[in-house]
Amino acid sequence: MLDFITLSNLPPVAPYSHAVRAGDFLFVTGQLSEDPTTGDVIADEIEAQTHRVMKNLKMVLAETGSSLEQVVMARIFITDFRDYETVNAIYQSYFTAGRYPGRTTVGVAALAGQGNIEIDLIAYCGGSS
């Protein structure tokens, strides 16, 4: 059974669902630094963009009854690898030490909406671990 989830308070900028639940797994679409009040991608420094992305991810997870504690895999896409350490420190601060999900970080030439970071997630929503 598939459940396609779109948040009304974070309008998608393209034809996609914010998350799709497939069995015990939740696949969260890559989030940009989109301000949910305006719909605009914030183009501030990488710190502000990273925090906004993480807050957007938390919002999508909460809407589905999940949380960052249930994330098993993350993919980070950044346009400038000189921002890697900054992004890494902020990302890490959103998780419990010692319970970090698996992760891939990829440098890319550009992202939709002209942001500098995008993160997608997979969360496990089955029985207790």
Q: Look at the block and give the residue holding tokens 């949380």.
A: 67
* pLDDT greater than 80 at residue 49: yes
- CA distance to 21, 59, 103, 111, per residue, from 65 (Å): 11, 10, 22, 28
Q: How does residue 12 score in pLDDT terms, banded at 50, 70 and 90?
A: low
Domains assigned to the chain: 2-124 (3.30.1330.40)
* pLDDT greater than 80 at residue 112: yes
Please give the average per-residue pLDDT across 85-92, as a whole number: 98
Phi, psi of 111 (to 5 degrees): -130, 160
Q: In the prediction, which pLDDT does 10 show?
A: 75
% the chain with pLDDT above 90? 72
